[in-house]
Structure 1
Amino acid sequence: MKRIILAGSLAAVALLSCTPKASTAASPVLAVSTAEQIAQGKTIFENSCGRCHKLPDPAKHTPVQWVGIMNSMAPKAKLTDEQHQWVYDYVVSVKK
């Protein structure tokens, strides 16, 4: 029983740690990128991400999958918290 509780707790912590980072410049209310910022996110995605590898189709991943991808790749691309948010908002805005 203790193992089940521990496994559930660890899964919850892992899931919560994979959420997009909030920008320190943003207000405490949920930040929503503007259309201009999302356009900048697309440019950053194409230029920064495409510099090292073939770009994935944004519509092929769910928003939850993008959280993990972005949290893994944004530091490698040296994105600021704002850029991280803009790229995330761009990729999840692409419709299938």
Structure 2
Amino acid sequence: MKSKILTLTAVTMLLVSCGTKKAPTASTAPVTPAVTETVKATELTPELAAGKNLYENSCARCHKLYEPKKFSQEEWKPILTRMQKKAHLDDTQMASISNYITSQL
């Protein structure tokens, strides 16, 4: 009985320590970029906003999102082609994402 309680306690402690999120102690991002991103989001046309939404929701399911400016337009083409198959996106959705990324370059 004693060993069962100790085992249960150890497992509980392990799960609790793995499941908690630690809050960052200090924010390293300056305040100005957040304001700039908000302005960019409001300047998007409905079509580009739909592309941004698709990009954020489809791509972030599997990996971190890259800033559109991280790659050139030529570098984005093969990346998007490869990811279209993995994300199960049709040509219309892919065109919307491509237009959004191109607009941000």
Residue number among 68, 76, 94 corresponding to 1:58 in the alignment: 68
| Residue pairs, 1:8-19, within 5 angstroms | none
Residue 43 in structure 1 maps to residue 24 in structure 2: no
TM normalised by structure 2 equals: 0.55
Number of the residue aligned with 2:94? 84
Give the C-alpha shift of residue 36 in structure 1. Answer: 1.8
- Larger Rg over CA atoms: 2
Q: How many residues align?
A: 62
- Which contiguous aligned blocks of 4+ residues in structure 1 show a shift greater than 6 angstroms? none
Structure 1 unaligned regions, length at least 5 = 1-34
Structure 2: stretches of 5+ with no match in the other structure: 1-44
Question: TM-score scaled to structure 1, two decimals?
Answer: 0.60
Flag the structure with more relative contact order, 1 or 2, with Cα contacts below 8 A and sequence separation at least 6.
1
Question: Higher helix fraction: Structure 1 or Structure 2?
Answer: 2
Q: 1:69 aligns with which of 79, 84, 88?
A: 79
What's the C-alpha RMSD, in Å, of the aligned pairs? Answer: 1.5
